């Protein structure tokens, strides 16, 4: 039965045992395909099961026929079916030091047998990589060592807080990804931007192109050669120097909201990549009667999608973090004084 609840995930977590440790890789294994792996390509299954083994070696044992499914040779495009028996040959790999990933405590907004929805804090990456040892997904897996399947459905920028959906079953992941591709998932954000946003409701359609700076940092800019991107902005509240907007995503490009706003002349308060750096310094200090803001004011506060098992619409909301709501109260106080 589905449960809507808030709670903590235990911090005292034992080190997760990798199913593809060195000893198991060095002997023949017979693996039966579970429901969670039904429909997955054999090469992707082996990448996940044989962690630490180079992809080139995985493709080599597939081409040589050493990997068998139901005692038959298959190629790398074969899609697994529940109940298939996979023969995985011995694989020699160099021993490597396992990195310890600590469990973490996250606010759970919704959970049932197929999905998990958490409220991600700002400053936490959703996954490891690009100089980050681990993120939310690795910490959740460490905190839930008995979970048979746990994958991100979508992503959030490290600096963005709010709703993050994870799948606890492969079938749920597939169905939710279909909704993302079809554009039927409704994701809403709240953003505090500099200046007076003129239109109550405005569509922004600007193509976005990824690139890297001279020091290798990933960035995005508006460029005719980029991917089509569409955001709808609705005014929630106006302040003398800021506007609180709701951003409705129609596409899900990297840094889409941040770049669309910056290119429209209204940067997000606290944005350290595309923002107004002088403004950021001011709001980090705060003003009299106003709390300081030491983060980017962008929060994923609401999502609506079709539940992958019940087939019914599900809406989950996440309240503004205290730092953001506190900053708004300060702006309201200043506004009242001006009046």
Residues labelled catalytic: 157
Determine the distance from the C-alpha atom of residue 244 to the mean position of all C-alpha atoms in its chain, rounded to a whole number: 24
Longest dimension (CA), the chain: 79
Q: How far apart are CA 165 and CA 7, in angstroms?
A: 16
Q: Could you tell me the sign of the dihedral formed by the alpha carbons of 66, 70, 73, 78, in that order?
A: negative
Q: Which residue has the tokens 């709240």?
A: 190
Q: How far apart are CA 125 and CA 302, in angstroms?
A: 20
Q: Which residue has the tokens 């109260």?
A: 329
Determine the distance from the C-alpha atom of residue 210 to the mean position of all C-alpha atoms in its chain, rounded to a whole number: 18
Q: How far apart are CA 308 and CA 171, in angstroms?
A: 8
Q: Could you tell me the sign of the dihedral formed by the alpha carbons of 31, 103, 13, 320, in that order?
A: negative
Closest CA to 111 of 172, 157, 34: 172
Angle CA(98)–CA(118)–CA(305) in degrees, nearest 5?
120
Ramachandran class of 311: left when φ > 0, alpha when ψ lies in -120 to 50, beta otherwise:
left
**3-state SS, residue 131:** coil
Judge whether 208 and 221 are in contact, CB under 8 Å. yes
The token pair that represents 215 in the structure block: 């020091």
Q: How far apart are CA 329 and CA 176, in angstroms?
A: 36
């Amino acid at each position: 039965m589905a449960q809507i609840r808030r709670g903590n995930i235990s911090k005292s977590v034992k080190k997760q045992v990798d199913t593809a440790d060195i000893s198991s890789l060095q002997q023949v294994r017979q693996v039966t395909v579970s429901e969670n792996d039904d429909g997955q390509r054999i090469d992707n299954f082996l990448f996940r099961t044989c962690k630490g083994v180079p992809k080139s070696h995985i493709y080599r044992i597939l081409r040589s026929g050493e990997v068998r499914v139901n005692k038959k040779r298959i190629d790398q495009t074969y899609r697994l079916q529940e109940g298939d028996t996979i023969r995985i040959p011995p694989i020699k790999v160099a021993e490597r030091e396992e990195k310890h990933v600590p469990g973490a405590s996250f606010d759970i907004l919704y959970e049932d047998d197929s999905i998990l929805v958490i409220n991600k804090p700002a400053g936490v990456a959703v996954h490891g990589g690009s100089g980050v040892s681990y993120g939310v997904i690795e910490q959740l897996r460490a905190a839930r060592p008995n979970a048979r399947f746990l994958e991100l459905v979508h992503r959030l920028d490290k600096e963005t807080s709010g709703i993050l959906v994870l799948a606890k079953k492969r079938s749920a992941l597939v169905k939710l990804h279909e909704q993302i591709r079809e554009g039927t998932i409704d994701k809403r954000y709240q953003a505090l931007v500099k200046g007076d946003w003129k239109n109550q409701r405005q569509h922004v359609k600007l193509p976005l192109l990824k690139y890297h700076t001279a020091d290798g940092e990933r960035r995005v800019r508006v460029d005719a050669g980029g991917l089509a991107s569409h955001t709808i902005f609705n005014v929630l509240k106006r302040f003398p120097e800021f506007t609180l907007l709701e951003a409705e995503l129609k596409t899900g490009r990297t840094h889409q909201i941040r770049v669309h706003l910056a290119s429209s002349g209204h940067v997000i308060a606290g944005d350290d990549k595309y923002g107004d750096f002088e403004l950021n310094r001011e709001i980090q200090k705060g003003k009299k009667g106003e709390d300081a803001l030491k983060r980017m004011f962008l929060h994923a506060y609401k999502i609506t999608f079709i539940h992958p098992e019940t087939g019914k619409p599900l809406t989950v909301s996440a309240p503004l973090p205290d730092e953001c709501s506190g900053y708004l109260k300060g702006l309201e106080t200043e506004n009242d004084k001006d009046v």
